[in-house]
Amino acid sequence: MARAEKATAVAELKDRFESSNAAVLTEYRGLTVAQLKQLRTTLGGNAKFAVAKNTLSKIAANEAGVTVLDDLFQGPTAIAFVSGDVVEAAKGLRDFAKANPLLVIKGGVVDGRSMTPAEITTLADLESREVLLAKLAGAMKAKQSQAAATFNALPTTMARLVEALRVKRDEAGGAETTGQADSAETSAEAGE
């Protein structure tokens, strides 16, 4: 590879490291070209799967400020640059690795944080962003419904309380009236 080609490759890889949400390093030894094509199709628009030389990838990563991957650039390495949903890309890689054990997830970086293969698998076990947002919206709607029910209950409770007080006063007033009538009769009898 000529020096100009290497510089172009490093610049392209550096741009991918900088513009991606995540980068997952894999070992692809033993996979056929057809299997790699299938993997690229599986990842779809979420990630770009690229095979690159370790030395050039390491230089590009360091220039992009991603130094946590230095130890992973050993053996045949391919990088999945994730620009979409990280969880979906991790699921695609995990599922493909289950079906094709020759694909080994080495590790990666998500939003500048180093991730082990186990952490990437755990990330793949999460539900997709859309599902999590739908659950959050449902929880928020439920809380709003509870608040609305509470606010609606306040006037109803207040009206019942006022009615109970009125009934109690009427009963107490009726007893008072009866008591006053008894007192008047007793006074009238005493006056006779």
Measure the CA–CA gap between 56 and 45, rounded to whole angstroms.
Answer: 24
Which of helix, strand or coil describes residue 30?
Answer: coil
Q: Token pair 């008591």 is at which residue?
A: 179
**Which string of DSSP letters, residue by residue, matches 87-140?**
HHHHHHHHHHHHH-TT-EEEEEEETTEEE-HHHHHHHHHSPPHHHHHHHHHHHH
Contact residues for 17 (Cβ-Cβ < 8 A; gap 6+): 23, 60, 61, 64, 66, 81
How high is the pLDDT of residue 190? 52
CA quadruple 122, 123, 125, 131: dihedral, nearest 10: 150
pLDDT at 181 over 80: no
Measure the CA–CA gap between 133 and 125, rounded to whole angstroms.
Answer: 16
Do residues 68 and 107 make contact, with C-beta atoms less than 8 angstroms apart?
no
pLDDT at 178 over 80: no
Interval 81-122: pLDDT, tens: 988 788 888 888 888 999 988 889 999 998 888 888 888 888
pTM over 0.75: no
Q: Where are the alpha helices (DSSP H) in the chain?
A: 3-19, 33-43, 54-63, 86-99, 117-125, 129-191
Interval 4-27: pLDDT, tens: 888 888 899 889 888 888 899 999
